[in-house]
Amino acid sequence: MRTSPATAPRGLLATRRLLDPALRCAIARLDPTTRQVASYHFGWTEADGTPCSSDGGKAVRPTLTLLGARAVGAEPARAVPAAVAVELVHNFSLLHDDLMDGDTQRRHRTTVWAQWGPATAILAGDALLALSQEVLLEVPGPTGPAAARTLAVATRELIRGQVQDMAFEGRPEVTVDQVLAMAEGKTAALLSAAACLGAVLVGAPQDHVDALADYGRHLGLAFQLVDDVLGIWGDPTITGKPARSDLRARKTSLPVARVIGCGGAAGVEVAAWLRAPQEDTEERLVQVAALLDAAGGQEWARSESAAHAEAAAAALAGLPAHDDVRAELLGLAEFVVGRVQ
Amino acid sequence: MRTSPATAPRGLLATRRLLDPALRCAIARLDPTTRQVASYHFGWTEADGTPCSSDGGKAVRPTLTLLGARAVGAEPARAVPAAVAVELVHNFSLLHDDLMDGDTQRRHRTTVWAQWGPATAILAGDALLALSQEVLLEVPGPTGPAAARTLAVATRELIRGQVQDMAFEGRPEVTVDQVLAMAEGKTAALLSAAACLGAVLVGAPQDHVDALADYGRHLGLAFQLVDDVLGIWGDPTITGKPARSDLRARKTSLPVARVIGCGGAAGVEVAAWLRAPQEDTEERLVQVAALLDAAGGQEWARSESAAHAEAAAAALAGLPAHDDVRAELLGLAEFVVGRVQ
C-alpha cells in the first residue's frame, strides 16, 4: 500500500486506541530478538530498542475488522483479537514481501531485512503468522476457531496472489482476468477477511458475514486498481515511492494487461516493451506511461475502481448497521478510490 | 535432522500409508506453482513435475503423532489431520532453514531455494505453515482448535529456538543451560507437539496428553544431543553431511558449551577458537574435535542423551498404551539415541 495523499478517515485513528495495547501484548510473547524486530517494524522503537513513535501504518485492515463488528451491532472491543490477528498477517506479508522485492524503505524507515539481514526478516514474518492463529485460538467459544480458519484460508489466498504476481512479471500474454484473479488473492483476500473477521468473532449470522466479506473483496479490487494507477502515474512526492515503479519492475499490472488485451498499435508496442529484457531509460518509461494513458489504460482502471467501490457500498445494503457505521464503511471505500480522484 | 545409519523402526514405514494420501490432498489446495514446489520438496516429483518417488524424509514426527493416538487407545486414522499438520510445520521450517543456512542439498536433492530462488522457498514455507492450521481447523468438534493452538504455540517456540541458534554462533559465553533452552525450542517443541497432538485431536484426558508431550520433549533433547555429537564427530559417509560441519559453522553446540563451561585449558582454548573470526583449515577442525573429545564433550553429550531417552521412556509409565505401542515409542527413543551408540 502506498502512502496516501488524502486524510485518513477518523476511524483509522480511533482504531489505534483499541488495537495497539492488544497488539503490543501479543508481540510481548515473542522471544526478545523477534520482539525487538517486530517493535521496530511496527514503529514503536528504533532499531536499537529506544522507544519512539514512528508511523506504524494506516491500520486500514484492523479498522475494517472493528467496523465490521459494529456493523453487526457488536461492541468493537469484542473484535479486538480479530483486528490484532489481521494486522499480524498483514505485517507478516510486508516483512516477507519487502525482502522478496528487495525494498529497502517502508514507512520512511529502513526495512527489517535491510536492517538485520534476510534471516531476521524471514523469522520475524514467520513468528507474526504463527502468532495470528494463536491470538484467535485463545478466544473462548467456537467463534475463535471459525475466525482462525477464515484467516488461514485468506492467508493461503494471499500467498497464491503473491506467487502469481511474481510469475506475471514481464509476461505480456497474461490477461486482465488473470491479473484480476491474482489481485483477488494478493490484495482482496485479506481485506475481505479483515472486513468480516470481527463479525465472525462476535458470532454474527452467516449472511451478514458474507455481506461484509463481499464488501471487503470489492474494496480490495478497487484498492488494487488505484494502486496500479499510482504505480504508473503516481506522484512520487505523494506516494513516497519512485515514479513509475511498476513499469520499472515490468509488472503486468491491470492497466498494462488492459491496454495489451485491447490490441491495436499501443497494445502491440506495450507487449513488445514488456517482453524486452533490457533496462529502461527514464525517458523510455515516461514514454510507455504516456502510451498506456493515451490508450485508455488509466481511465479504464479509474472507472473500474469506482465500480468496485460502488459494489462494495451495495454489499452493505442488507446489514443492520447504524448510519454512522455505514458512513464510516462508505468513507473507507471513498478514501481508497479518492487516492487518485 | 541427519540421515541415520540405523534402520528405521517399522512404525516409520507404516506411517507413510496413512499420512501420504492426506498430505497430498492438503497440498493439492495450494496454487499450481506452490503445489509443484511442495511436491518436489516432499519427493513426489522431479523439479519439472515428473512423478517420482524420492526420499521424503523419515516421517519421525507424524509417526509420533499416530503412535500418540494409539497410546491413548484411539484408532491412528483419527489422528491423521494432526500428523499432516505436524509434517507441514516441520517442512515449513526445513524450507526456510535451508535458505537461511545456505544449504543446497537435502535428502540427496537440490534444496528448493537453490532450485527456484529464495522467494519461492519463502512463499512455499509460508504456504505450508498457513495450511497446517487450516487442516486442523477443519476437524469437526472442539479438539481440532485445541490441536491447532498447541501447534501454533510449538511453532512460536520453534522459531524462538531458530532465532537463538543463529544468535549463539561464535559466542563462547553462551552456557549449557542457554543452549539447552534453545534446543527446547528448536528441536524439542515440535517433537513434543508431535507426540501429544494425536492424543489432543482424539480428545484424550489432559494427563495423558501431558505425558506424551513430556515424552516428546525428552526425545527432542536426546535427539539434539545426538545431532550435536554427529555434527562434530559424525562420519560423513553415514550422516550425509560434511565432516565437522557444526565446527565449521562455529556453532555453540551442547558439547562445545559443556567443554567451555567446565573451564580448564581445553575450555579456554575452545573459547578462544570459537571467538576467532578467521576461516579454519581442515587440520585445525580435526584438532578442535579431538580437543573437545579429550575434554569429555562427547562422552557427556552421549550420556545426557541416554538420560533424556530414559526420561522419555519413564514419561510413558502412566499411559494406557498396549505393549506393542509402548514398545514402538520406546523403540523410537532407542532409534534416536542409537544413531551414535
* Alpha-carbon gap, residue A309 to A315, rounded angstroms: 10
* Residue A50 covered by a domain: yes
**Cell numbers at residue A271, please?**
507487449
pLDDT bracket for residue A242 (50, 70, 90):
confident
Distance of CA B246 to the CA centre of its chain: 16
Where does residue A241 fall: left (phi above 0), alpha (psi -120 to 50 degrees), or beta otherwise?
A: beta
pLDDT bracket for residue B5 (50, 70, 90):
very low
User: Under an 8 A CB cutoff, do B123 and A29 touch?
Assistant: no
- Which residue, A60, A85, A333, is CA-closest to A201? A85
* Residue B1 covered by a domain: no
* Residue A325 covered by a domain: yes
Cβ-based contacts under 8 A for chains A and B: 118
- Strands A105-106 and B109-110 come out as unpaired
CATH for A100: 1.10.600.10
Distance of CA A60 to the CA centre of its chain: 8
Please list every residue in chain B whose beta carbon sits closer than 8 Å to the beta carbon of residue A118: 99-100, 118
Q: Is the pLDDT of residue A314 over 80?
A: yes
* Residue B20 covered by a domain: yes
Please list every residue in chain A whose beta carbon sits closer than 8 Å to the beta carbon of residue B184: none
> Residue B146 in contact with residue B157, Cβ under 8 Å?
no
How many distinct helices (H) and strands (E) make up chain B?
17, 2
Q: What pLDDT was estimated at residue B201?
A: 98
User: Under an 8 A CB cutoff, do B127 and A159 touch?
Assistant: yes
pLDDT bracket for residue A108 (50, 70, 90):
confident
* Alpha-carbon gap, residue A101 to A275, rounded angstroms: 20
pLDDT bracket for residue A78 (50, 70, 90):
very high
Q: What pLDDT was estimated at residue A87?
A: 98
Higher pLDDT, B106 or A214: A214
> Bridge partners of A51?
A45
The mean-pLDDT minimum among A100-104, B218-222, B333-337 falls in: B333-337
> φ, ψ for residue A105 (rounded to 5)?
-130, 140
* Residue B188 covered by a domain: yes
* Residue A194 covered by a domain: yes
Mutation choice for B interface testing from A94, A134, A137 by most B CBs within 10 A: A137
Helix (H), strand (E), coil (C) string for chain A: CCCCCCCCCHHHHHHHHHHHHHHHHHHCCCCHHHHHHHHHHCCCECCCCCECCCCCCCCHHHHHHHHHHHHCCCCHHHHHHHHHHHHHHHHHHHHHHHHHHCCCEECCEECHHHHHCHHHHHHHHHHHHHHHHHHHHCCCCCHHHHHHHHHHHHHHHHHHHHHHHHHHCCCCCCCHHHHHHHHHHHHHHHHHHHHHHHHHHCCCCHHHHHHHHHHHHHHHHHHHHHHHHHHHHCCHHHHCCCCCHHHHCCCCCHHHHHHHHCCHHHHHHHHHHHHCCCCCCHHHHHHHHHHHHHCCHHHHHHHHHHHHHHHHHHHCCCCCCCHHHHHHHHHHHHHHHHCCC
Please list every residue in chain A whose beta carbon sits closer than 8 Å to the beta carbon of residue B137: 145, 148-149, 152
> φ, ψ for residue A57 (rounded to 5)?
100, 165
Cell 543451560 sits at which residue? B177
Of A31, A126, A149, the CB nearest to B164: A31
* Alpha-carbon gap, residue A148 to A137, rounded angstroms: 7
Q: What angle do CA B252, B253, B257 make, to 5 degrees?
A: 70
Cell 511474481 sits at which residue? A166
Torsion of CA B9, B12, B18, B20, to 10 degrees: -150
Q: Is the pLDDT of residue B216 over 50?
A: yes
User: Under an 8 A CB cutoff, do B133 and A138 touch?
Assistant: no
> Bridge partners of B109?
B106
What lies within 8 Å, CB to CB, of A329 at 6+ separation is A67, A71, A215, A313, A316, A321
Share of chain B above pLDDT 70, in %: 96
**Closest-CA residue in chain B for A146?**
B137
Q: What value does the mean pLDDT take over residues A104-119?
A: 94
- Mean pLDDT for chain A overall: 93
Residue B323: count other Cβ atoms within 10 Å of its Cβ: 7
Please list every residue in chain A whose beta carbon sits closer than 8 Å to the beta carbon of residue B127: 156, 159
Of A31, A92, A118, the CB nearest to B163: A31
Mutation choice for B interface testing from A29, A31, A92, A164 by most B CBs within 10 A: A31
User: Under an 8 A CB cutoff, do B156 and A134 touch?
Assistant: yes
Provide the number of structural domains found in chain A.
1
Higher pLDDT, A2 or B168: B168
**Cell numbers at residue B273, please?**
577458537
Where does residue B253 fall: left (phi above 0), alpha (psi -120 to 50 degrees), or beta otherwise?
A: beta
Q: What pLDDT was estimated at residue B9?
A: 63
What lies within 8 Å, CB to CB, of A120 at 6+ separation is A33, A37, A112, A113
Q: What value does the mean pLDDT take over residues B287-291?
A: 97
* Residue A1 covered by a domain: no
Q: What value does the mean pLDDT take over residues B81-106?
A: 96
Q: Is the pLDDT of residue A333 over 90?
A: no
Residue A259: domain span:
10-338
> φ, ψ for residue A151 (rounded to 5)?
-70, -35
What lies within 8 Å, CB to CB, of A117 at 6+ separation is none
* Residue B103 covered by a domain: yes
Q: What pLDDT was estimated at residue A340?
A: 55
> Residue B123 in contact with residue A163, Cβ under 8 Å?
yes
CA distance B149 to chain A (A): 6
Q: What value does the mean pLDDT take over residues A237-265?
A: 91
pLDDT bracket for residue A56 (50, 70, 90):
confident
Which SS3 state, helix, strand or coil, does residue B279 take? coil
B35-41 own/partner pairs: CB under 8 Å, 24+ apart: B37/B112, B37/B116, B37/B120, B37/B124, B38/B91, B38/B124, B38/B127, B38/B128, B40/B109, B40/B112, B40/B115, B41/B91, B41/B94, B41/B95, B41/B112, B41/B124
Q: What value does the mean pLDDT take over residues B205-234?
A: 97
* Alpha-carbon gap, residue A291 to A280, rounded angstroms: 15
What lies within 8 Å, CB to CB, of B340 at 6+ separation is B226, B229, B230, B234, B302, B305
Q: What pLDDT was estimated at residue B7?
A: 55
Q: What value does the mean pLDDT take over residues B2-31?
A: 79
pLDDT bracket for residue A10 (50, 70, 90):
low
User: Under an 8 A CB cutoff, do B130 and A156 touch?
Assistant: yes
The mean-pLDDT minimum among A101-105, A138-142, B44-48 falls in: A101-105
Mutation choice for B interface testing from A122, A158, A174 by most B CBs within 10 A: A122
Of A119, A137, A153, the CB nearest to B145: A137
- Mean pLDDT for chain B overall: 93
List, in sequence order, the alpha helices (H) in B102-205.
112-116, 118-137, 143-168, 176-183, 189-201
Cell 565432516 sits at which residue? B243
Q: What pLDDT was estimated at residue B341?
A: 47
Rg of chain B (C-alpha set): 20
Mutation choice for A interface testing from B128, B129, B131, B136 by most A CBs within 10 A: B129
User: Which residues of B have a CB under 8 Å from any CB of A?
Assistant: 29-31, 33-34, 92, 96, 99-100, 118-119, 122-123, 125-127, 129-131, 133-134, 137-138, 142, 144-145, 148-149, 152-153, 155-156, 159-160, 162-164, 166-167, 185
Q: What is the ipTM of this complex?
A: 0.94
Share of chain B above pLDDT 90, in %: 82
Residue A140: count other Cβ atoms within 10 Å of its Cβ: 6
pLDDT bracket for residue B4 (50, 70, 90):
very low
Q: What value does the mean pLDDT take over residues A284-310?
A: 96
- Which residue, A145, A133, A109, is CA-closest to A37? A109
* Alpha-carbon gap, residue B275 to A228, rounded angstroms: 50
Q: What pLDDT was estimated at residue B37?
A: 98
Q: What pLDDT was estimated at residue B10?
A: 66
CA distance B100 to chain A (A): 5
